Each structure stands twice: as C-alpha cells, then as structure tokens.
C-alpha cells in the first residue's frame, strides 16, 4: 500500500538506506521482512475490510432497522393521528352528548318541577276530596279481592257502627247488614264482579246496640289485563233520615188516600143518609099520623093488647121521627153549613141558653160564664154546640140542681180552648170515646130520652171549624167538655 499522506512507500519510511545498493543477503532478508510486513498489512487490511464490511452490513442493518422503525414510527404516527382524530371526534361527540345530557337534565328538572307541581295538585285534590267527603258525611271503602281484605275510612266505620279499626273480610261485613238485605246485597256484588253491572244499592245495617240505619252505597270493580276483578272500591253515606222521611211520606200519602177515600165514602154515606132520611120523613109522618089516629079513635074500644100495640106503634113512629131528624141535622152540618164569619161566642151561648130556658127553669139549673171571645165560626152551629152540651148537663144531672160554667182561654197563639164544666153524674173514662159515636148511649131510654147523636153532632161541628172536642170526667164528680176552635178559620 502507499502512504496517502506523502505518496512514498512505507519501505522508504522504515528503511531509508534502501535507496543505496546493498548486499544480496541483506536484500533478501529485507525483502522477506517487507513481504511479511506486506502480508501482515494485507492481513490487517483484510481483517479491517471484513470489519468494515461487517460494519457496513451493521450500518445497513441499522439503516434497514431504522427504515423499518421509521416506517413503524410513521405507522404509529398515523395511528396516533387517527387516534387523535378519533379522540377529536369522540370529544366532539362527548361534547354533543354532554350538551344533550345537559338538555335532558334541564328537561328532567323541568319535568321534575312539573311532576312535583302535579303531585301537589293531586295532594290538594285528594285533600279537597277528603274534606268534601267529610263535609258530605261520605265514607270510603276498598276491598282487596285477592286477599279478601276490606279497609275503610273513619266515616265508614262510624256509619257501620264498627267498634274496631281491624281490617275485615267480605263475609264479616255482610254480617253487619240487616238479615233481610244480605242476599240482595251479595247478589248485587256478584253481578258487579262477574257482569260489570254498576254497584248502586241502599240497604240497612244493624249497629251493636241493635239500632237500624239505612246506607246508600256506590262502587265499581277494577280489573287486571286478563279482565279479572282484583279490587273494588266505593263510597257509602247515611240515608236514614231520607228513608224515614220517605216512609213518613208514604204513610202520609196512604193516610191521605185513605182520608180522601173515607171522605168520599162519608160524603156518599152522608148524602145517602140525608136522602134516605128526607125521603123517609113523608111515609113516616103518614105512619105516625095514622097510628095516632088509631090510638085516638079506637083506644078502649078494642082489647088491652090492641091498645098496647097501638101505643108501641105510636112511640116507635115518634122515636123514628126523632132519629131521622137527628140524622138530617148531622148531615146538614157538612152540607148546609153557613160561611164561617166573625161570631161572638158569648152571644151564641146566650142564644143557646134562651133555647134551653124552659129546661133550666124546670131543673133549677144555672149557667155562668167568663168573658168569651169572638171567633171565626158558623153562628147557628156554634149555638147548637153550646145547646147540646148544656142540654146534656141538664139531662144527666145529679141530685143537685145542675150548675154549668163556661170559659175560654188562649192555647198559645193559634186557637181558643172552650171548657164547659158541670156537676152532673160524671162519665167513666172507658166511655170517653164511645159517647162521641153516633147512636151510642150509656143509659137506657126508660131513664133518659134522646137519640144518642147529640155529642156526635157537637164533635162534627168542632171538626168542621178545624177544631176538636174531648172530655174529662170522673163518675160522681161531674164532667168538663172541651172544644178547640182555631183563632182564624
């Protein structure tokens, strides 16, 4: 090899004397040494070359690895860029999602506010409903059919007379219902559960104290998706007063119908009695006239039996005339009565006493009176009433001369109560009703005359004026007859 620095051979450097001729031995030794040196150099150069080649290969390998690594890095870079792009997209998506979540949260908050408002409205509505139910005296109930448990409100418990708040079964509730209503109620509940018929019933419940109360109940059944009734709920309220009013109204209507029918029957009977009595007067008058004529013309000319029979006929005809006259007078009270006008009851009494003057003088009787009021009445009928009662006092007198006192007092502000107290025989209380019945007598005709219609007539007169009549008495202590007349007719 040549020295790159000077261009001279290395032999020249090592052996400067070689520029001059040497001896052959020495030359050969030098050549050998040079050859060996050259070989060593060549060997070193080959080794170096190998090392260089190895280094070159290593560098190439490094370059290949670097190229691969660069490619890997470029792939990694692209992946990172893709990841960054994905992250950017995901970030945008997350931001969009976040905005959506915020919007949802805002909507949820608004919905929550609306739900809370709706809940408050429901609670207020339930409270108003509860207050309305309590104010209307309405009880509520709920029946869980599957568990057979019935729960209720406090008002329900009160209406059914229950003493415990323990949940009851359907059969237990049925036992509270009146026995006559149980089957009807049970069938109605079955119809509601099985057929969907509305439950709307009225029935009676029996409280522990045995008192009976009327209940009105309404309800409906709720069903699952399969259509099976799972529970039933409704309301109850007390209708006892309404039922009592309805019953009273029914009784009043029935009584009114009976009253109308009775009045019609009485009117028909009275009309018949009036017509019959009126039509009987003429033939009876003829019978009486001819029997009296027989008595006058043939008395003593026939045997004693004939005289007795004729006397019976005359007496019977006379009594028949009296009865028919009394019956006509009774019929005329309602048919031929005069208009009710302001009438002095004191003047009516004085007229009656004037009509009874002969009987009073004969019996030694005396009639006194307090100041008597002016009333709305039929004057002639009021005279007849006073006359009949005072006449009875004279007729049924005791051993003492008859004494009668007439008075009147206000009963509250709507009627006058007249009383006529005597010192006569008195009446057993068991006959207080009988003496006002037509043709009913407490004494035989042999002892006291009369038709047995006088007090009946007096009572009818009082009733025609919108009043009433009654008696208080004890045997041997006289009697007091009362009649009431309204202050205004």
The 3 state secondary structure assigned to 469-480 is EEEEECCCCCEE
- Global confidence as pTM: 0.41
Instruction: Name the token pair of 481.
Output: 């007859």
Angle CA 203–207–210, to nearest 5? 105
Residues 6+ apart with CB under 8 A from 252: none
Question: Closest Cα to residue 382, out of 354, 421, 344, 414?
Answer: 344
| The Cα angle at residue 382 between residues 422 and 489, in degrees rounded to 5 | 120
- Asked if 186 contacts 178 with a C-beta cutoff of 8 angstroms, the reply is no
Torsion sign over Cα 362, 365, 370, 372: negative
Task: Give the pLDDT score at 283.
Answer: 72
Give the Cα separation of 310 and 320 in Å (integer). Answer: 15
Q: Which of 170-179, 225-234, 324-333, 463-472 has the lowest mean pLDDT?
A: 324-333
| 243-269 pLDDT per residue, tens | 999 889 988 888 888 888 777 766 666
Closest of 267, 200, 203, 193 to residue 223, by C-alpha: 193
Inform me whether the pLDDT recorded for 489 exceeds 80: no
Place of tokens 């490619």: 71
Planar angle of CA 149, 150, 155, nearest 5 degrees:
160
DSSP secondary structure letters along 231-269: EEEEEEEE-HHHHHHHHHHHHHHHHHHHHHHHHHHHHHH
pLDDT at residue 312, as a whole number: 74
SS3 of 165-186: the string is: CCCECHHHHHHHECHHHHHHHH
Structure tokens, 325: 């006259």
- In the chain, the percentage of residues whose pLDDT exceeds 70 is 71
β-pairing verdict for 468-473 and 403-411: unpaired
Average pLDDT (405-417) is 85
76-85, 130-139, 181-190: the lowest-pLDDT one: 130-139
Question: Among 107-116, 170-179, 446-455, which is the least confidently predicted range?
Answer: 446-455
Three-state SS at 20: coil
The reported pLDDT for the residue numbered 322 is: 62
Find the mean pLDDT for residues 303-331. 70
For residue 15, what are its two tokens? 């052996």
């Amino acid at each position: 090899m040549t020295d790159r620095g000077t261009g001279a051979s290395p032999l020249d450097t090592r052996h400067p004397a070689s520029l001059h001729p040497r001896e052959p031995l020495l030359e050969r030794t030098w050549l050998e040494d040079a050859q060996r040196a050259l070989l060593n150099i060549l060997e070193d150069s080959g080794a170096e070359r190998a090392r260089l080649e190895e280094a070159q290969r290593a560098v190439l390998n490094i370059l290949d690895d670097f190229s691969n690594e660069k490619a890997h890095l470029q792939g990694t870079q692209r992946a990172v860029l893709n990841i960054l792009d994905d992250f950017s997209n995901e970030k945008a998506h997350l931001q969009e999602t976040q905005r959506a979540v915020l919007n949802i949260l805002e909507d949820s908050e608004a919905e929550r506010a609306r739900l809370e408002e709706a809940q408050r409205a429901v609670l207020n509505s339930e409270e108003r409903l509860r207050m309305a139910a309590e104010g209307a005296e309405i009880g509520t109930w709920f029946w869980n059919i599957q568990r057979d448990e019935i729960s209720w409100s406090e008002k329900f418990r009160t209406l059914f007379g229950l003493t415990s708040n323990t949940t009851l079964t359907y059969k237990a509730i049925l036992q509270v219902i009146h026995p006559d209503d149980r089957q009807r109620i049970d069938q109605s509940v079955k119809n509601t559960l099985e057929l969907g018929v509305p439950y709307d019933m009225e029935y009676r419940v029996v409280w522990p104290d045995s008192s009976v109360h009327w209940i009105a109940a309404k309800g409906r059944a709720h069903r699952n998706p399969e259509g099976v009734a799972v529970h039933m709920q409704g309301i109850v309220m007390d209708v006892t007063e309404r039922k009592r009013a309805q019953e009273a109204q029914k009784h009043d209507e029935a009584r009114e119908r009976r009253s109308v029918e009775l009045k019609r029957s009485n009117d028909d009977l009275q009309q018949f009695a009036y017509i019959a009595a009126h039509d009987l007067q003429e033939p009876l008058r003829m019978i009486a006239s001819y029997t009296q004529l027989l008595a006058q013309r043939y008395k003593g000319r026939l045997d004693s039996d004939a005289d007795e029979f004729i006397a019976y006929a005359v007496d019977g005809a006379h009594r028949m005339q009296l009865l028919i006259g009394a019956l006509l007078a009774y019929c005329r009270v309602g048919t031929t009565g005069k208009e009710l006008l302001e009438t002095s009851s004191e003047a009516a009494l004085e007229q009656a006493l004037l009509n009874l003057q002969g009987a009073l003088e004969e019996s030694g009787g005396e009639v006194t009176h307090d100041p008597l009021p002016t009333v709305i009445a039929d004057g002639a009928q009021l005279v007849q009433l006073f006359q009949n009662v005072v006449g009875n006092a004279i007729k049924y007198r005791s051993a003492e001369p008859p004494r009668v006192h007439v008075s009147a007092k206000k009963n509250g502000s709507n009627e006058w109560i007249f009383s006529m107290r005597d010192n006569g025989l008195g009446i057993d209380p068991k006959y207080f009703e009988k003496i006002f019945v037509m043709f009913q007598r407490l004494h035989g005709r042999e002892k006291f005359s009369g038709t047995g219609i006088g007090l009946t007539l007096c009572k009818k007169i009082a009733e025609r004026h919108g009043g009433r009549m009654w008696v208080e008495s004890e045997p041997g202590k006289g009697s007091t007859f009362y009649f009431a007349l309204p202050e205004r007719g």
